Amino acid sequence: MICAIGAVNMREALHIDSTRRDVLRRIGAVGMAGLGGTALASSSVAAKPSVDWKPADASNYTGANRSAGDINWVIIHVVQGSASSAVNWFQNPDADVSAHYTVAKDGHRYQSVSDQNTAWHAGNSGYNQQSIGIEHGGYVSDSFTADQYQSSATLTSWLCEQYGVPKQHPADPATAGVIGHAQVPGSTHTDPGGNWNWGHYMDLVTSR
């Protein structure tokens, strides 16, 4: 949000006279000072990792008003295809599926559904309602890239802090934390599969 607002001001600045541009610069400066003050006042609240917003079709998720306390899990998925193919599919009204985020092989992060809304990724309505779903471009038979682990872990760390999800990978999926789609009760899916390095991933999540 912060970056998007800045970008709008930058674009506007290209089309206006210098006086107005200077005013916008001063507004921007004040905004930055304000943000700095906020960051200093509450250093535990990190900025949200940047995402490329590609909204899912509204027929592919459930509108909700979730916040911390409503979310118990971050659920890790693998697309079985490219990240962009997943993001495009979520925009198709025929899909009837969605995930909040998709992380590409190169670490690029997309967001398709707002955190407050319930994405359809777990194949279990209770888990959908109480989780954030993150897809990863590629196949379960692939090895995952360092950039992908880093980018996803940065996002998961932020989500855990934002929503009070423990930074742990529980063997029992009834325990809150970061779990794989295959662990969701009733799941017929195997992702993220045996090539997903949970030890490495959780080390990255907890070190953020």
Largest CA distance in the chain: 62
Q: Which is nearer to Zn ion, 97 or 205 (CB)?
A: 97
Residue 169 contacts Zn ion per CB under 5 A: no
> Binding marks (x or -) toward Zn ion, 27..66, rule CB under 5 A?
----------------------------------------
- Give the binding range for Zn ion (CB under 5 A) out of 28-36, 124-132, 157-165, 179-187: 179-187
- Tell the smallest beta-carbon distance from residue 106 to Zn ion (Å): 21
- Tell the smallest beta-carbon distance from residue 208 to Zn ion (Å): 23
Binding residue for Zn ion, selected from 77, 136, 167, 169, defined by CB under 5 A: 77
Over 58-125, what HEC string results? HHHEECCCCCCCCCCEEEECCCCECHHHHHHHHCCCCCCCCCCEEECCCCCEEECCCCCCEECCCCCH
- Tell the smallest beta-carbon distance from residue 121 to Zn ion (Å): 6
Residue 191 contacts Zn ion per CB under 5 A: yes
Q: At 147, which helix (H) or strand (E)?
A: helix 146-163
* Dist. CA 86–CA 137, nearest whole Å: 8
Rg (CA), the chain: 19
Chain position carrying tokens 């109480």: 130
- Tell the smallest beta-carbon distance from residue 99 to Zn ion (Å): 8
Q: Which is nearer to Zn ion, 115 or 191 (CB)?
A: 191
Q: Which is nearer to Zn ion, 44 or 188 (CB)?
A: 188
Q: Which is nearer to Zn ion, 28 or 123 (CB)?
A: 123
* Dist. CA 54–CA 92, nearest whole Å: 12
Q: Is the dihedral of CA 167, 171, 175, 178 positive or negative?
A: positive
Residues that bind Zn ion (rule: CB under 5 A) add up to a total of: 4
* Site for Zn ion, rule CB under 5 A: 77, 181, 189, 191
